[in-house]
Structure 1
Amino acid sequence: MISSNDFRTGVTIELDGSVWRVTEFLHVKPGKGSAFVRTKLKNVQTGNTVDKTFRAGETVPQAILEKRTKQYTYKDGDDLVFMDMESYEEMRLNPDSVGDRIKYLKEEMEVNIVMWGERVLEVELPNTVVLEVTETDPGVKGDTATGGTKPAIVETGAQVMVPLFISVGEKIKIDTRNDSYIERSKS
């Protein structure tokens, strides 16, 4: 159990049979009446957000989440197959459980699988990935880093906006949180 006074951004709670993550919170002490905590909660499974108010000191069950590091090995039909790096057990997941971040998933990539009991809640990719550009308009002499951007398709099929000087075959670093180009990869 966790008190509403202990809410912080990122805390997970169980509410109505689901797991919710606190994304915003505000402790309010009105001049008259008792204090309360105004929160914005995001459902970890569905992504829905709700505003909910708790009395100060009210206790709610805290969701105990477990992160397991797994390696993405291959796609088998519709399933994505992940291998536990310690026990070498395979876990098959539906692409829906990865969500839209599947566009950056490539073989042998290590990910964190967040579980609540035996239920998979989300698959966390690394914050940055290095991928090869497979398709983009050719660079032209005079294109500079500050001259603008163009779309590029990377090896996993994702589309990213890159500077004009990037060409096919180059490896680039991408921020998976906001789908943005960071830099050319040195490797």
Structure 2
Amino acid sequence: MTIYNSNNFKIGLKIIFENEPCCIESSEFIKPGKGQSFTRIKIRKLLTDQLLDRSFRSTEYFKKADIFDVKLLYLYNDNICWHFLNTQNFEQYSAEKKLLYKKLQWLIEQNYYMTTLWNNQIISVIPSNFVELKVIKTTPGIKGDSLNNNVKIAILNNNAKIKVPLFIKTGEIIKVDTRSNQYICRIKNN
């Protein structure tokens, strides 16, 4: 087991803090004129996504978090757990709904997702930055409507609701940025 001294903290280092895996987002070593040196860091708890500001004396030690990223295939969900498969060794993993709450609408069955594992359990699933989805419902644009309002609401085949330009019609395929839930462009059918 690897142990890190607080003087050796670097951005991106993953440690165990308060019995949870955490990732260091910023680190600043401070040596005052008087007194003991310390390290001021911003640390993100990976289970709750909470960002903390902390200071540690140079004599404090932390265990390395045994975290790794792996590409998993999303199989299905039963409204309690979302099930994934490692196609390399055929191990199956599951993640509870509360862990995936912000990303659920962007998880599409039979697609691969970068997944973070800690102690052989999923703690994070990262959807693709861009997805192509079909518009299943939207209101038709009215001529002259672009003066006051140049966007309308569209419902996609994953039940996500996003704002799209007036020219988008039901049945079209569009590209969506999953990080900001925004329309990017229309995909032409071949």
Question: TM-score, structure 2 length as denominator?
Answer: 0.82
Contact 1:148 1:164 in 2 (8 A): yes
Structure 2 counterparts to residues 147-162 of structure 1, below 5 A: 148-162=150-164
What CA deviation, in whole Å up to 9, does each residue of 1:15-62 have, x standing for no partner? 121111223333333343343221122211122222110234743222
C-alpha distance in structure 1 between counterparts of 2:123 and 2:89, whole Å:
21
Question: What is the CA-CA distance between 1:153 and the residue it aligns to?
Answer: 1.7
Find the residue that maps to 1:96 and give its secondary structure.
helix
1:54 to 53, 56, 63: 56
Find the residue that maps to 2:100 and give its secondary structure.
helix
1:96 to 95, 98, 117: 98
Gaps of 5+ in 1: none
Q: What is aligned with 1:87?
A: 89
Structure 2 counterparts to residues 1-187 of structure 1, below 5 A: 1-56=3-58, 58-76=60-78, 78-141=80-143, 148-186=150-188
Contact 2:79 2:97 in 1 (8 A): no
Question: What is the CA-CA distance between 1:66 and the residue it aligns to?
Answer: 1.6
C-alpha distance in structure 2 between counterparts of 1:31 and 1:79, whole Å:
54
When residues 92 and 120 of structure 1 are mapped into structure 2, their CA distance, relative to the original with a 3 A threshold, is closer
Question: What is the CA-CA distance between 1:10 and the residue it aligns to?
Answer: 2.8
* Number of residues of Structure 1 aligned to a counterpart in Structure 2: 185
User: Highest CA radius of gyration, 1 or 2?
Assistant: 2
What CA deviation, in whole Å up to 9, does each residue of 1:132-176 have, x standing for no partner? 1222222345777xx733222211111222222222222222222
Contact 2:30 2:39 in 1 (8 A): yes
C-alpha distance in structure 2 between counterparts of 1:80 and 1:157, whole Å:
17
Find the residue that maps to 1:100 and give its secondary structure.
coil
Contact 2:75 2:84 in 1 (8 A): yes
Amino acid corresponding to residue 125 of structure 2 in structure 1: V
C-alpha distance in structure 2 between counterparts of 1:186 and 1:26, whole Å:
49
Find the residue that maps to 2:10 and give its secondary structure.
coil
What CA deviation, in whole Å up to 9, does each residue of 1:68-119 have, x standing for no partner? 2111122235332222222334333322222210011111111122111122
C-alpha distance in structure 1 between counterparts of 2:77 and 2:179, whole Å:
23
Percent sequence identity over aligned pairs: 31
Gaps of 5+ in 2: none
C-alpha distance in structure 1 between counterparts of 2:170 and 2:8, whole Å:
50
Question: TM-score, structure 1 length as denominator?
Answer: 0.83
